[in-house]
Every structure is written in structure tokens, then in C-alpha cells.
Amino acid sequence: MNCPKCGLLNNDSTALCECGYDFETEDILLRTQKSEELKQNKEGFENKLQALLITTTTSIDGRKVVEYKGIVTTQVFMGVNLFKDIFSGFRDIVGGRSKAMETEFNKAKELLLRELGDEAVNLRANAIIGLKIDFEDVGKVSGNAFMLLGTGTGVIIE
């Protein structure tokens, strides 16, 4: 659905647009709100994000899915600089692990999980089930880069 305030296209189950429009109350959260209120909203969002359960399975033992909120998906593109590429190639030739490449990959994975979590919390989900992360080497297309694509289902569990 399009936001009546800014026109941004949002998922039908999105509760809050990036501009501050609340679809449930049909109120616009004014930019003139006190900074303390904004801080509390952000802290509440962060708390929900930290409490979010994420699993690759389609169920969680001992927990029941009570509502499916929607599909969550995101992609992260990461470029790797030439020095790291050369170092990584050298390690591939002589054997061993490239700590620099592992670090970049872990940064991309953490960013991907954060973005999926943001999307799930915006859907008012408290868990993501069925998480799948795909890796794609896009270096041939865009230079020295790779892409992670994550998908899952935002749900409410009890």
C-alpha cells in the first residue's frame, strides 16, 4: 500500500512507514515529537529486534506459530578491495584461510540478519522461520564483490 503522507510503497502488513505514518492509527508521527519519545521508540524497536528469534527450521520446538505476518527478504552486496583479493588468492594457492575475506563475509551476514530483523519487526513479527541465505559471487559482473540474499517468514509465536 502507498503511504498517504510520502507515497512510499509499503508491504500490506507494514505497521509504520519510514516517514513516520502509522497505518494502524492513521496518525502521522510528527517530527516535532520530543526527542525523549523518539529515543524510547527506538529503544523499544531495538528491544524487539534483540528478542526476535531467527531459525532455519520451519518450526520452533515447544513454540506455536499463531500468525504468519509475511515474507521477509533482503540482499546485501559487499565489495572487497584489491589488496584483500590478492591476499585471498595467494592463500588459495598455498592453502589456508583468508581472515580478511572471512571478516567481510561475516560483516555481510550480520548486516543481512539485521535487515531481515528490521523488516520482521516492522511487520510486528517476533520470529523469523525458514531462514535461507544464498551466496552469489557477482565479481564477474561488478568487479570484486559478492551478494548475500536472505529470505524467511515473519511470524508471531507464543
The C-alpha cell that represents 56 in the structure block: 532455519
Residue 118 lies in a domain: yes
Between the ranges 39-43, 89-93, 110-114, 138-142, where is the mean pLDDT highest? 110-114
pTM: 0.64
Which conformational region is residue 143 in: left (phi greater than 0), alpha (psi within -120 to 50 degrees), or beta?
Answer: left
Quote the pLDDT of residue 29. 57
Residue-wise pLDDT for 15-38, tens only, equals 777 677 777 777 665 544 445 555
Residue 111 lies in a domain: yes
Quote the pLDDT of residue 138. 75
**128 strand-pairing partners:** 54, 154
Contacts of residues 106-114 at CB distance under 8 Å and 24 or more positions apart, as own/partner, are 107/78, 108/76, 108/78, 108/146, 108/148, 109/133, 109/148, 111/76, 112/74, 112/75, 112/76, 112/148, 112/150, 113/54, 113/150, 114/49
**Number of domains into which the chain is organized:** 1
Residue 151 lies in a domain: yes
Residue-wise pLDDT for 42-89, tens only, equals 777 788 878 899 999 999 999 999 999 999 999 988 876 645 545 555
Residue 89, domain extent: 52-157
Residue 21 lies in a domain: no
